[in-house]
Amino acid sequence: MCKIKKGDKKMAKLTMAQVKENAKNEVKERLNGFLTDNEAVQFDDNSFAVLTEIEGQEVWVEISLTAKQYTKTKVADPFDPYEKAQEWQDEVALKAKEKETKAKAKADKIAASKAKREKKGE
């Protein structure tokens, strides 16, 4: 009878690259129905293009699968979609405020110029 050493029973641990590849493949399987129904064109291992039409113009939209960092390393923290969403929302709000400020400054400038012209006309 052959004895199994204690360490021999362990399954080989997946590398980070293998875990990420497996994750992308799992999500790709979940999206398979959508991709098939919409006649998506696969042009890379994890990239697809879906054709849509906007006001009579055909437009290709790319869908690319990227497995994000899932553990803390020396150079990166795990990806947190909620944190990224908040950062994006904050950026959108900041840009909207900047746009509003610029529009107000432009309107004030136009009003001042108009008032100056009207004053000259008197």
Q: Are 70 and 79 in contact (CB under 8 A)?
A: yes
What residue spans define the domains of the chain? Answer: 12-70, 80-122
For 99, counting Cβ atoms within 10 Å of its Cβ (0-12 exposed, 13-18 middle, 19+ buried), the class is exposed
37 vs 49: CA distance, rounded Å: 13
Residue with tokens 């293009």: 49
The Cα–Cα gap between 89 and 107 comes to 27
* Residue with tokens 């004895």, as numbered in its chain: 3
pLDDT (0 to 100) of residue 116: 83
Res. 7: pLDDT tops 70: no
Quick: pLDDT tens for 64-109. Answer: 999 999 999 999 999 999 999 999 999 999 999 999 999 999 999 9
Length of the chain: 122
